[in-house]
Amino acid sequence: MATLPVRELSPLPHGHPCYGCEARKVAVCGVLPPLELAELKDCGSNLQLQEGQPLFHEGDPASQVYNVTQGTLRLYKLLPDGRRQIMGFMMPGDFLGASIGGEHAFTAEALEPTRLCRFGRARFADFGEEHPALERELYRLAGHELAAAQAQMVLLGRKSAVERVASFFMSLLDREERFDGKPHKIIDLPMSRSEIADYLGLTKETVSRVFAELKNRRLIRLAALTRVEVLDRHGLADVAEGYSEA
């Protein structure tokens, strides 16, 4: 991958401390009242990545934390022979900062044009100490990530291919609904079949076949290659949880 230089935007545009964060109920920024949010802006700067561009690699020193405002990142680990496990996808509103011993535990790459706001880890930490609400929020987020990781372990360790894909759709649906509160039917997939496969512990061929099966079972419809319409939400949820595999 020809590592393009990361494009630096202006050190945070006027009106908006964490440019774009307020559009969704964004992690971290979301818990701060406007005044303190404005204060936080001095710690951060804006950042843009092109498709395929890495934000950091596994093992890099972790001196920054990030808030995704637009686009999508893939987080992954590689085995020496190239097998890839995608740990998750970061989308607008997600906070990216967890690390142990100051090193990133995975690689983060944009899979489409992506914007983030970046904070120096140290300054961010200082800021956190003065704002317990922020620290509490970070701890809460860590808890959520852990819960998500555990759900993913069940998926990878014990679910069949159909169950994995159904669970994947359900979690994307749930994610959307957590933002605006109202039910959704359409899922837009910013990631390729390969990426879905590497996230679900399958191959791209199996993912493709399972899409076809779910289509035949009238649980979904493919409005386009990257656009899934959920036709039977409850049916899909049942498959995801492992019922109905009679």
Kindly list the residues in this chain that would bind DNA in the complex (CB under 7 A): 160-162, 192-194, 201-209, 211-212, 222, 224-226
Determine contact, residues 17/41, Cβ cutoff 8 Å: yes
**Residue 79 binds which entry of DNA, a copy of itself, none, CB below 5-8 Å type-dependent:** a copy of itself
| Between 54 and 201, CB nearer to DNA | 201
| Between 153 and 225, CB nearer to DNA | 225
| Between 75 and 207, CB nearer to DNA | 207
Q: Quote the least distance from Cβ 100 to DNA, whole Å.
A: 29
Q: Quote the least distance from Cβ 226 to DNA, whole Å.
A: 7
| Between 67 and 206, CB nearer to DNA | 206
**Residue 1 binds which entry of a copy of itself, DNA, none, CB below 5-8 Å type-dependent:** none
**Residue 127 binds which entry of DNA, a copy of itself, none, CB below 5-8 Å type-dependent:** none
**What DSSP assignment string belongs to 160-184?**
-HHHHHHHHHHHHHHHHHHHHSS--
State whether residue 157 is helix, strand or coil.
helix
Q: Quote the least distance from Cβ 164 to DNA, whole Å.
A: 8
Q: Which long-range contacts (CB under 8 A, 24 or more apart) does 5-8 make?
A: 6/47, 6/48, 6/49, 6/53, 6/55, 7/47, 7/48, 7/49, 7/50, 8/45, 8/46, 8/47
Give the separation between CA 158 and CA 203, rounded to whole angstroms.
Answer: 17
Give the separation between CA 243 and CA 152, rounded to whole angstroms.
Answer: 18
Q: Quote the least distance from Cβ 89 to a copy of itself, whole Å.
A: 13
Binding residues for a copy of itself, per CB under 8 A?
Answer: 77, 79-81, 83-85, 87, 98-100, 105-106, 139-140, 142-147, 149-154, 156-159, 198, 200-201, 241-243, 245
Q: Which residues are bridge partners to 220 per DSSP? A: 230
